[in-house]
Amino acid sequence: MYNFFFKLFGWKTVGAVSPDLKKFVMIIAPHTSNWDFFLGLASRSVLGLETKYVAKKELFRFPFGWIFKNLGGYPVDRSKSNNFVDAVVEVFKTEPEFSICITPEGTRSYAPVWKTGFYYIAQKAGIPIVMVAFNYATKEVVVEPPFYLSGDIEKDFEFMKNYYRKVPGRNPKKGVI
């Protein structure tokens, strides 16, 4: 079903995640629209991935919570520090194959400062980050090769942000700085 809508609306994928890569953190930016969620679900299907995603816990309440959970979602309580990073790292340690998708901005609104959780999850689990861009101008979902962290968060963030600065989101004025 997703493949049909993906092609119907003129989208295509560029790149792919190697089947040999069993564990990774996928990041998607810029996250500027609610449509990114649906594009993400379609892209996941087209790419043949079982990547899970995180979203604010409020989305997992009645009456629609079961839908988000069945679509692979994990609720996150953003109102307090609850050691989310370590909990996700533990999943990576126990599962033979696991990947999770996170938007570094943590919101659809303008966010010049990225959240750091995705970085520390990848660092603590010893796994790469796969950068994915939703380029609304070209209608391409671009999947980059795995990015292995240097351990210098400022250097790594600058590398990733430089990549995403070239990508127009659905609402470009809300994008990466």
Is the pLDDT assigned to residue 123 strictly greater than 60? yes
Amino acid of residue 124: K
pTM of the model: 0.85
Calculate the average pLDDT of the chain.
87
What average pLDDT does the segment 92-98 reach?
93
Residue 73 has pLDDT above 60, yes or no: yes
Please give the Cα distance from 65 to 157 (Å, whole number).
Answer: 32
Task: Give strand pairing partners of 161.
Answer: none
57-61, 117-121, 148-152: least confidently modelled range = 57-61
Residues with Cβ < 8 Å from 63, sequence gap 6 or more? none
Residue 27 vs residues 4, 10, 105, 146, 170: alpha-carbon distances, Å: 24, 23, 10, 11, 17
Name the pLDDT band for 173 (thresholds 50, 70, 90). low
Task: Give me the domains of the chain, ranges plus CATH numbers.
Answer: 2-165 (3.40.50)
Asked if residues 99 and 50 have their Cβ atoms less than 8 Å apart, the reply is: yes
Cβ 70 vs Cβ 118: under 8 Å: no
